[in-house]
A and B are shown apart, each in its own frame.
Chain A
């Protein structure tokens, strides 16, 4: 059963084809790993799925519903949350306010009310507790350490209970003990039914954590399967090491 399915996605920047007819499907309620050499189109794929870039052609669907080129706020409302390769939080707001940003309300009257309703506040403290930042709730987010900011970004993504979370390099620049902590949190959410799609270069992290690994190469899907199988696939090694069939360049 697939949760997000992309079909023949194409996206070019000038002469560079970032996505060249990419088709792949991500398994529901699984931890999907998305790997591939630099420039293989992983982040572009994330950007197209989450509405930050518009696809030139092709389709993105969420549980059968077409969400191609939906705007980022709509994508979030559909239950897809994402983090960025470079951690992006709201540095001048407090940690608690950061989390509350992700709890948007429909309707103008609701928007005009105070920013932290009791229910939202409870939920906010719950997600901060979950990542271990509850004690820092009243501090200005920009004062947090890099690792703490990563956790904060992760926390506010979960605030609105998304069913799919896209993580762009969660292990980048993170020390081993924090990485263990992040992996645990991912597993815990996954056991509650949240689907993850993780772009990551740390192979050990991916192979240990993911149920299903997909490989991209030159803007399209190369292969996919369980971690052991992908690890053993000669095509994957070729893509990474460049020992594959000659392309003439």
Chain B
């Protein structure tokens, strides 16, 4: 048949080694992590620790949301703080104008924060997504600062640099952080489920195609503008929710902390370190880096040494695992499996094909002596490489 002839086209197909760990491992790890995250504040109820937990959840939601757009489509946004800020102001303004009391009720505003951001992101995305990926990065930064300026100057709405004060919950002591933590965890799970869904869907495949080659994707029937815009709005939604959680937690909203350029960089760095475009990358990045950063801050905050420690860590990860932690580890793991599969193949091959005539060495296992010449005669390059 014609299909067999093509073996001559390129190298023979190797035994396939999966790129991802087996499903049982992935699902098991997810479930285990979830249990750990649920148990964490119960095991460490100290407010200093749990407030690190709340910040971690806020960044986790934002990182997962950001990755749905920037990770999957390849359009890096360094301006999602626009939605972080809009989310904060949405929750604060509704709470203040509707005279809501602090406490559980404010969490009901999180979907509103997300929706306002998603709606705001559509006209913005429509304008921004007309440009190429590099230009896009610059424009996103500009948009974020436009919103910051608006927040400073629309004083009748935002109270400018005076900021807004949120109604404060009556929770006290060790309990104060708990509602924020668990609601944050719930939002992160929802964001994670959304990312997982996108990753599996036909729609998501279109996003990945856009990341790899947008023009090629267009020529295969993908509606690129619509596809990018939906992901952009979805990521704005989750970043808005993160903002909506942050505002009542710290109790106030200011332009420079809402529309915060360091938030933009932090989220991008988290995802890059964890592994951009993967499902677990943002999770790992946020769970590792945010607690570390907060810990460094608490320990060495006075001398700003924490920034140096943080920088060193960042450089180390980039040097050792340039694609991020998740791709770095899975590739290394896969590399071992591939080497093993190749060794197996090589061991099997002399028996089956090439050296049929020479006989005895086919049965002898490695290390007994005479076979040393056999396989290397047959495939010099491959044999040597394996030995190294």
Contact = CB atoms under 8 A, between A and B. Distances in A.
Contacts of A111: 201-203, 206
Interface string B194-227: 0001001111111011011101111111111000
A88 B3 CA distance: 23
A192 to B, nearest CB: 14
Interface in A102-132: 102-105, 108, 110-115, 129-132
A134 B71 CA distance: 29
Nearest to B74: A92
B302 interface: no
B202 A113 contact: yes
Contact of B10 (A52, A93, A144): A144
A50 to B, nearest CB: 6
B203 A140 contact: no
A136 B221 CA distance: 24
A107 B2 CA distance: 37
Interface in A154-178: 156, 160, 177-178
Given A76-B220, A90-B208, A110 B213 contact: no
A181 B202 contact: no
Contact of B16 (A102, A139, A184): A139
A97 B19 CA distance: 13
Contacts of A50: 219
A4 interface: no
Given A93-B205, A102-B220, A112-B201, 4 more contacts: A72-B218, A92-B212, A104-B206, A151-B6
Contacts of A202: none
Interface residues of B, number: 38
B330 to A, nearest CB: 12
A73 B223 contact: yes
Interface of A: 50, 52, 71-73, 75-77, 81-82, 84, 88-94, 97, 100-105, 108, 110-115, 129-136, 138-140, 144-145, 147-148, 151, 156, 160, 177-178, 181, 184
Contact of A90 (B10, B197, B209): B209
A93 B221 CA distance: 17
A98 to B, nearest CB: 8
Contacts of A82: 219
Interface string B1-25: 0111111111101001011000000
Contacts of B204: 115
A93 B202 contact: no
Contacts of A89: 212-213, 216
A144 B19 CA distance: 15
A176 to B, nearest CB: 11
Given A72-B218, A111-B201, A135 B213 contact: no
B223 to A, nearest CB: 6
B200 A115 contact: yes
Nearest to A159: B220
A103 B277 CA distance: 22
Nearest to B198: A112
Nearest to A84: B216
Nearest to B216: A88
A87 to B, nearest CB: 10
A151 to B, nearest CB: 7
A136 B10 CA distance: 11
Contacts of A84: 216
Nearest to B204: A115
A133 B2 CA distance: 11
A90 B216 contact: yes
A177 B356 CA distance: 28
A93 B218 contact: no
A148 B10 contact: yes
Contacts of B4: 132
B16 A138 contact: yes
A143 B5 CA distance: 21
Contacts of A151: 6, 9
A136 B13 contact: yes
A109 B63 CA distance: 26
Contacts of B13: 135-136, 139
A70 to B, nearest CB: 12
A147 B10 CA distance: 7
A151 B6 CA distance: 10
A101 B220 contact: yes
B200 to A, nearest CB: 5
B9 A177 contact: yes
A82 B220 CA distance: 9
A72 B209 CA distance: 15
A90 B2 contact: no
Contact of B219 (A72, A134, A136, A181): A72
Given A101-B209, A145-B11, A133 B202 contact: no
A97 B206 CA distance: 10
Nearest to B18: A138
Contacts of B277: 92
A90 B210 CA distance: 9
B3 A114 contact: no
Contacts of B205: 93, 97, 100-101, 115
A71 B10 contact: no
Contacts of B211: 92
B221 A114 contact: no
Contacts of A135: 13
Given A100-B205, A112-B197, A132 B6 contact: yes
B6 A114 contact: no
A132 B220 contact: no
Contacts of B11: 145
Top 6 A-B pairs, shortest CB-CB distance = A132-B6, A90-B212, A145-B10, A135-B13, A72-B218, A104-B221
A208 B213 CA distance: 33
A132 B3 contact: yes
